[in-house]
Amino acid sequence: MTYPAQIRIPATYMRGGTSKGVFFRLEDLPEAARVPGKTRDRLLQRVIGSPDPYGKQTDGMGGATSSTSKCVIVAPSAQPGHDIDYLYGQVSIDEDFVDWSGNCGNLSTAAGAFALHAGYVDKARVPDNGVVVVRIWQANIGKTILAHVPVTDGRVQETGGFELDGVTFPAAEIVLEFLDPADDGEGEGGGAMFPTGYVVDALDVPGVGTLQATLITAGIPTVFVDAAAIGFTGTELQPAVNGDPAALAKLEAIRVAGALRMGLIETPAEAATRQHTPKVAFAAPAGDYVTSAGKPVAAGDIDLLVRAMSMGKLHHAMMGTASVAIATAAAVPGTLVNLAAGGGLREAVRFGHPSGTLRVGAAVKQVDGEWTVAKAVMSRSARILMEGWVRVPGDIF
């Protein structure tokens, strides 16, 4: 019996924020994978090493966590006033699907840097030394992201002294601006930042009870609940949650109930194939804790505590898109996030997550009684880890 040879595809392996992913230029993909569909999904799954019933992704580029099971496709933008179209796929580790329903805020950072590496930004806009504003069209959700990428000698400056909790080594700072990050129409709210019309809802969760929840669509659809209401303190690290099947089941039940209430799914069964969105997060007032790296964080150095779930597990730090949701919710008086931070009007907050702290900001206002958000801002970093070709068995085509 003969087997087809492996094929090789130009690819770049990048870290962006606290995530890693395999980046492709659209034109470098095999022709059958240049359009959405099962062929593209199969290719990206094989690149990452999924679906893997062992949950290790040993036979692929994935790192067996939601933060490292990601692929990105970048192309010159078809949108006026933008440099690139950035499409993000969250590859399930052990299940047979790729979730295209949302963005990865962390890899948005790397997308901006990749655009320059790939030559997608007009050379006339790239100084020898300075900062380039890369105009990104986030194709999953139809939103604009501005990445302020530093340049030295005409190339992306990747090394530097900017420290990001959750990333061991410092690098160059990239400032991200998420413009108009609220959802544009999915769900019952028809594009409202708070799809139910309320900053706090009574959410009925089967098997759990009725919980106060803030349901918001900014950055990524997110369900916020109070940590104390579900038996947490907000200082938890990954082992305390990910090693507790009952806690994971409770949090998934909250996510499903929130997705139904927001109109993102019609039946609970649909949640199984939409693991990337919505996110569920729990917030608490500021408190002392020790990070996963053993670093103490003092209550006086933060405004609140937040922990978030990603693909069914507690995230080791904080997703970029969830950080946008945190920034936006914190800026709106009366949300659970805002109340955990002490209430009132806030343009920025510093929150504690399992790996450390992060400062985020958002500009919000009320228009005809509805809250809107103009932009959310945060800093991240990115760098190329490896570039060349990724190989996959030819029989996937």
- Whether 71 is a known active-site residue: answer no
The first and second tokens of residue 148, run together, are 């302020």
CA distance between the termini of the chain: 18
CB 74 within 8 A of CB 115: yes
Does residue 76 have a cis peptide bond before it, meaning omega lies within 30 degrees of 0?
Answer: no
Nearest to 193 by CA among 219, 212, 226: 219
d(CA 209, CA 184): 30
User: What is the residue whose two structure tokens read 């009684």?
Assistant: 369
Q: Which residues contact 314 (CB under 8 A, 6 or more apart)?
A: 236, 237, 238, 241, 242, 307, 308, 354
Angle between helices 105-117 and 320-331 (to 10 degrees): 120
- Whether 319 is a known active-site residue: answer yes
Residue 113's DSSP bridge partners are none
Q: Which of 61, 104, 193, 262 is catalytic?
A: 104
Query: 3-state SS of the chain: helix, strand, coil percent to 5?
Result: 25, 40, 40
Amino acid symbol at 18? T
CB 309 within 8 A of CB 345: no
Q: Which residues contact 187 (CB under 8 A, 6 or more apart)?
A: 195, 217, 221, 262, 263, 264
d(CA 359, CA 201): 26
Q: What are phi and psi of 65, to 5 degrees?
A: -140, 160
Please count the other Cβ atoms lying within 10 Å of the Cβ belonging to residue 52. Answer: 20
- Please identify every residue annotated as catalytic: 104, 319
